[in-house]
Amino acid sequence: MTLPPATLPLFLTDPYRRTTKGIVTGHTPEGGVILDASIFYATGGGQPGDMGVLTFDGQDIAIVVTLKGEAGQIVLVPASPDILPPVGAEVTQTLDWDRRHRHMRMHTALHLLTVVIPLPVTGGAIGADKSRLDFVMPEPPTDVPVLNAALNDLIAQDLPVSEEWITEAELDANPALVKTLSVQPPRGAGRIRLVRIGQGDGTVDLQPCGGTHVARTGEIGQVQIGKIENKGKQNRRVSLLLS
């Protein structure tokens, strides 16, 4: 069976696009819908897949999660596989924007959390209201109010958030760019996407990332470092709450 072509990830170049057209290029055996181009982010890197609606022939099809498929495909999973738009059909994609935007704010805030807690990251998860990072941290911090103030100060500076690309060889020459021990940047395409917070000498963070982010840190709003849990001899889980 011939696989549909890879899906163009529109969310990488335009994370603020809330609706767009798309052409159905295939279905999965489980009833997922594959499009030629997607504004729906597929689950990965600790960020949940997007939800929303596909509209076809006057019908709204609820999308409950978006996943990565084979060979670069993005799979939109409907609430029910009973009625699917056929291959070749044009559909309208509409994001659950409030949920996506909170993920964008949270994801950018977690990058800043690695700035105020400059320790190796062993895992993480993004939620609409609460997120977390796991750090190699044998002892819990004693200055949480100071860390919290530093984090919110970076947010209040309204720093620009941008992307750039480097080759895999350039990443190999600068391995310190990778802060997350549990998730390595995907390889095989020949280039790696970096997310930069700040610019020039004012850069505060630069690391590989395939997720969606806000355009400026001021858009994140107020955050608060929450519970810090012991997750093993060397690991601490730091929660982050979005106001």
Instruction: Kindly report, residue by residue over 8-53, the tens digit of the pLDDT.
Output: 999 999 999 999 999 999 999 999 999 999 999 999 989 999 999 9
Query: How big is the CA angle at 185 (ends 180 and 187), to the nearest 5 degrees?
Result: 155
Pair (25, 83) in one structural domain: yes
Residue 1 lies in a domain: no
> What CATH number did the domain enclosing 237 receive?
3.30.980.10
Task: Print the domain residue range for 13.
Answer: 8-95
HSE, CB side, 13 Å, CA atoms: give it for residue 178: 19
Does 113 lie in the same domain as 88? no
Domain boundary among 61, 76, 95: 95
How many structural domains compose the chain? 2
| pLDDT, tens digit, 9 for 90 and up, residues 81-117 | 888 999 999 999 999 999 999 999 999 999 999 999 9
For residue 175, the SS3 value is helix
Residue 81 lies in a domain: yes
Q: Are residues 70 and 153 in the same domain?
A: no
Closest CA to 106 of 235, 204, 226, 229: 226
Could you tell me if residue 153 is inside a domain?
Answer: yes
